[in-house]
Structure 1
Amino acid sequence: MAKVLYSAGISLDGFMTGPGGDMSWLTPYLGPNPQVEALIPQIGSLLVGRRTFDGDDPHKGGEGEGKAFGGGWEGPQYVVTHNPPDTTITDVTFVDDFGSALAQAKEAAGDKYVNVLGAGMGRQCLAAGQLDEIFVGIAPVLLGDGVRFFDLGGGNVKLERISQAELPLGTNLWFKIL
């Protein structure tokens, strides 16, 4: 059965994007990351929020632009939206219901991870009790504003650290939801 993993690169002050959804801040921190490279083959599908799907790309201008993990991963993506585009996009399914999208993503992932992309999707998975793990790469930068990695509005979620890795360009933390 698929596990649901929320992953992202964030600033030390907890922002996934800068003001206005800017992701260019992340580009200097996209260097080699052995944990991410080992994780990518374990991902069976993506569950993506529409704002993230349409959003800025830290790989802009490079060969990985517009591709999951900068081109390191290919497979089925399930984008939650009430406004699907008119055109078909290979390997992308637009779904208007979170529960249905998650179920489809889990089925497609098989025994691999459903990787969640986007703050809204991460929050919805956690609220639904469907989030198993969190992987975050913390870049040594303070953004001061933008979209927060988690904005729970209160509450307490207990975590158990699975791993921690210090890298030249930041720190990775991996947690299991208790």
Structure 2
Amino acid sequence: MPRTISANVTLSLDGFAAGPGGDMSWLVETALHEQCASGFAGYCRGVDTVLLGRTNYEGFHGFWPAVADDPAADARSRALSRWLDAVEKVVVSRTLDEATWTNARVVRDLEATVATLRAGDGQSVAVLSSVSVIQALLAADLLDELRITRVPAILGEGLPFRADGLPRSSWALESLQTIPTGAVVSVLRRR
């Protein structure tokens, strides 16, 4: 059975994945809420390969490795840090020559890489918030599942999730969860 290609992204009500200048402060309350954090930890348990764009790879690599041994970090964040260190990380980039994080490698051809990953053994392959990678997968009709957390914030500007010229596709709601912060987590499966 082919591996599932899944994407996880958090969006504002007006469809932005980040605010101006990459601001992510608008999603912190929701991301740290026990219900949301627990759901994300469950999602990660089914993933053994992560696809990241260069920007997210550099941001994750600059933050997460130190969290594993940080006594001030909560147990779930330390576990996520260890998981991110151990999981296979495939970085899609035209400009990065090497990835120095444990179990990370750089690829140029997203479609060929996804075909190889899909045909291989293992658990799901996940894109963690890398909008450019998610858009490219949608454009190539290679995404099986979307996990969207919609946060009740209007940003007005920033990094938009939508991309013009995507092929038409149909999705079925697999699950829906509300978070007490007012956020809604939708898991959509490709029909």
Structure with higher helix content: 2
> TM-score surpassing 0.5?
yes
1:99 CA displacement: 2.3
User: Residues 97 and 156 of structure 1: is their aligned pair in 2 closer, same or farther, counting only changes over 3 Å?
Assistant: closer
User: Residues 16 and 63 of structure 1: is their aligned pair in 2 closer, same or farther, counting only changes over 3 Å?
Assistant: same
**Aligned residue pairs, count:** 174
Q: Which residue of 2 aligns with 1:48?
A: 52
1:46–1:116 contact (8 Å) kept in structure 2: yes
- The CA distance in 1 between the partners of 2:51 and 2:155, in whole Å, is 26
How large is the Cα RMSD of the aligned pairs? 2.9
Task: Report Cα offsets for 1:78-128 as digits up to 9, x if no partner.
Answer: 0011222556321111112212332454466x3421111311111111121
1:40–1:72 contact (8 Å) kept in structure 2: no
Max radius of gyration: which structure?
Answer: 2
Q: What TM-score do the two structures reach when normalised by structure 2?
A: 0.77
Q: Which residue of 1 aligns with 2:5?
A: 4
Matches within 5 A, 1:23-62: 23-30=24-31, 31-32=33-34, 33=36, 34-55=38-59
Q: 2:173 aligns with which of 143, 161, 164?
A: 161
Q: 1:122 aligns with which of 124, 129, 134?
A: 134
1:46–1:77 contact (8 Å) kept in structure 2: yes
User: Residues 72 and 150 of structure 1: is their aligned pair in 2 closer, same or farther, counting only changes over 3 Å?
Assistant: farther
Q: 2:83 aligns with which of 70, 73, 78?
A: 73
- The CA distance in 2 between the partners of 1:114 and 1:159, in whole Å, is 19
Q: Identify which range, 81-90 or 5-14, moves more after superposition.
A: 81-90
1:154 CA displacement: 5.9
1:24 CA displacement: 2.7
